[in-house]
Chain A
Amino acid sequence: MKLCDFVVPGAIVPELPAGTKETAIRAMVSSLQKAGSIKAEDEENIVAAILKREELGSTGIGRGVAVPHTKHGSTDKLIAAIALAKDGVDFASLDGEPVYIVFLLVSPPDRPGDHLRGLENISRHLRNDHFCKFLRQSKTAEDIWELLKEADNNEL
């Protein structure tokens, strides 16, 4: 599985407006809806499910990255949005640091393996300092998409 297999090109948000964890999650789920990956009537329900998951423990993963996620029947395949927050968002991460990169995942409940492989893929790339640095420096959705392709091809 590659990043470009599940990241939705139309759901890349290169500059999140300043705000909270909730506003970041809302903006990203909205981008998935606008890209046609989820239905408008499911949007609020998905936001609520992701926020509920955050209550169990922050998905701040360290290195200035968070991976909010939920399993939801509204999609039949793993999908993800990516957003950058230049000013940082407080995700209540374990390391106490703000979050600058957010990967938001929605996966079908009956495909746990795809969810695991999505998390594995993201985590593996996040261990690469070049990937994190170049991602944070990206200015446009096109820049981010190109970076994902380079990461998929092990060109970083």
Chain B
Amino acid sequence: MSDAVIHRRTVTVVNEQGLHFRPCQLIALAAQQFSGSVVLSRGSTRADAKSLLELLTLAAERGTNLELEVSGSEGSELIEKVSQLFASGFQTPSQP
């Protein structure tokens, strides 16, 4: 039952400006390509990572740890992709 697999990982905001509009947009764009659920949590605040509006409510400054939870088939690929966005400080080779 690969659909039932839940992947979890702690990700850290490393970029100086924190999880502002553009990083949230990049996360949402990546999550929206995925059919399963993607949730980012900061303490008790949970945000559907497909929703820019919800991601912005995390107000995560540099150094904040967030819990990333992905469920659905091929979730391991998405968790890698989103983790990489965080690790790179949301520097993408080309802006969509």
Contact = CB atoms under 8 A, between A and B. Distances in A.
Contact of A57 (B25, B57, B62): B25
Interface residues of B, number: 21
A60 B10 CA distance: 29
B68 to A, nearest CB: 19
B53 A120 contact: no
Contacts of B96: 57
A-side interface mostly: helix
Interface stretch (B1-9, B15-23, B33-41, B74-82): B15-23
Contacts of B22: 56-57
A120 B58 contact: yes
B95 interface: yes
A61 B52 contact: yes
A57 B28 CA distance: 13
Given A57-B96, A116-B59, A117-B59, A126 B16 contact: no
Given A112-B62, A116-B59, A120-B58, A62 B52 contact: yes
B53 A126 contact: yes
Given A124-B57, A126-B53, A116 B20 contact: yes
Given A56-B95, A112-B62, A127 B57 contact: yes
B54 to A, nearest CB: 7
Interface string A54-68: 001101011100010
B95 A116 contact: no
A119 B59 CA distance: 7
Given A113-B18, A115-B20, A116-B18, A127 B58 contact: no
6 contacts: A57-B22, A57-B95, A61-B56, A62-B53, A63-B53, A127-B54
Interface of A: 56-57, 59, 61-63, 67, 69, 71, 94, 112-113, 115-117, 119-120, 122-124, 126-127
Interface of B: 16-22, 25, 51-54, 56-62, 95-96
